[in-house]
Homo-oligomer: A and B are copies of this chain.
Amino acid sequence: MSTKKTTIVLFSGDYDKAMAAYIIANGAAAYDHEVTIFHTFWGINALRKQDGLQVEKGILEKMFGWMMPRGAEKLGLSKMQMAGFGPQMIKHVMKKHNALTLTQLIELAQEQDIKLVSCTMTMDLLGLKPEELLDDVQYAGVAAYLGDAEQGNVNLFI
């Protein structure tokens, strides 16, 4: 095996799971892995821009757009959600320990040339448009994911 590859499917839209994905990804990139994060289903919400853009959409697509969290810092927790209290506690404790926020972890991933991919099938289904997502995100389907995954051995579904 020449270059090492880490390929992560980020399916989850939970703040803590997205953090875990980006921490592993950034660690792998620091150890010279070629890293791809393939965002699908709720995982795409981590890539949304935080300011609401005006984009032409159908009603159902607008509803999804309203109901789903807009960007990394709006995601909830997988556990201890506690009416929104949990995420605040976690963010407070992260700040105290100078831990990187999810937004900062995503920026670091971009600086380390981690390939951030958004699943085109999900974008179609949920009515999300490329202009709503962060710049430098790539768009691809399951074939491209498999092309990356089959070349490496650290393959995770998060």
Chain A residues near B (Cβ < 8 Å): 4, 6, 9, 11-13, 16-17, 20, 23-24, 27-28, 30-31, 33, 40-42, 60, 63-64, 67-68, 78-80, 89-90, 92-94, 96-97, 99, 121, 124-127, 141-143, 145-146, 149-150, 152-158
Complex contacts, A31 vs chain B, CB 8 Å: 143, 146, 150
Whether A142 contacts B97 in the complex (CB less than 8 A), given A150-B154, A155-B153, comes out as: no
Contact of A150 among B4, B30, B124, B141 (CB under 8 A): B4
Q: How near does chain B come to A39, taking the closest CB pair, in angstroms?
A: 12
Complex contacts, A41 vs chain B, CB 8 Å: 16, 20
